[in-house]
Structures are given as structure tokens and as C-alpha cells.
């Protein structure tokens, strides 16, 4: 299975913030899996409180696509706030460029 990347939280937050500022991300399970299949995703990030079935699905698809997976050390609400959204975000994909 794809391994979770372990880095200091502040380094992870800086990389995530850069991607969000640049607009290089998609939100949601369907959009993230679509980006994975289209080979546009470079990393999948999911919230700490994700259901196990979805976590397994994400890890399996990421392993097939050879894309790293990282767990966000916070809830889906915290991930939504980090993405500057007014709603919760359970899964997001960081992409190579802007996805429309």
C-alpha cells in the first residue's frame, strides 16, 4: 500500500498552503479520484477522521497510480478551514497545475 508521508506539521502546512494559494488542488473524493485516474494528482491528503472504507479505497487507488498519500493531522472541518472553505473537506488532491 502507499505509505503515509511523515513530516513535521509546519513543513506540511507550508507545502499545503503554497498549493492552495496557487490553486493547484481539487476537493472531494470524486474529484480527487478523477484527478488520480487522469494522472493529474501529485499527492492525496485526507482528514484524520475519514471512514476506514474510504481510507482503504484512497490508499488502493493511490498505490496503483503511484501517488503519495498524507493524513492531515486534523478533522475534516480543520482541513476545510485550511483550504479556505466554509465547509468541511474530507479528501483533497494536490495537482500538477490548476484543474478546472
Number of C-beta neighbours around residue 19 at 10 A: 19
- Is the overall model pTM greater than 0.85, yes or no? no
Q: Which comes out higher in pLDDT, residue 51 or 4?
A: 51
Q: Dig out the grid coordinates for 11 from the structure.
A: 513543513
* CATH level 2 (architecture), domain 27-95: 2-Layer Sandwich (3.30)
Q: Dig out the grid coordinates for 46 from the structure.
A: 485526507
> What is the percent of the chain with per-residue pLDDT over 70, rounded to a whole number?
83
Give the per-residue pLDDT at 1.
46
Give domain limits for the chain: 27-95
Number of C-beta neighbours around residue 50 at 10 A: 20
The C-alpha atoms of residue 25 and residue 20 are separated, in whole angstroms, by 6
**95 SS3 class:** strand
Q: Does the pLDDT of residue 49 top 50, yes or no?
A: yes
DSSP state, 4?
B
- How many CA atoms does the CB half-sphere of 70 hold within 13 Å? 23
List, for residues 7-36, the tens digit of each pLDDT value.
Answer: 555 556 677 778 888 888 999 999 999 999
Question: Mean pLDDT throughout 66-90?
Answer: 90
Amino acid at each position: 500500500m502507499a505509505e503515509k508521508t511523515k513530516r513535521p506539521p509546519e513543513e506540511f502546512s507550508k507545502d499545503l498552503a503554497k498549493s492552495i494559494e496557487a490553486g493547484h488542488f481539487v476537493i472531494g473524493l470524486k474529484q480527487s479520484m478523477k484527478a488520480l485516474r487522469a494522472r493529474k494528482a501529485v499527492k492525496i491528503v485526507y482528514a484524520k477522521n475519514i471512514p476506514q472504507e474510504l481510507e482503504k479505497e484512497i490508499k488502493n487507488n493511490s498505490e496503483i497510480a503511484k501517488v503519495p498519500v498524507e493524513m492531515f493531522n486534523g478533522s475534516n472541518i480543520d482541513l476545510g478551514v485550511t483550504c479556505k472553505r466554509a465547509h468541511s473537506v474530507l479528501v483533497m488532491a494536490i495537482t500538477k497545475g490548476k484543474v478546472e
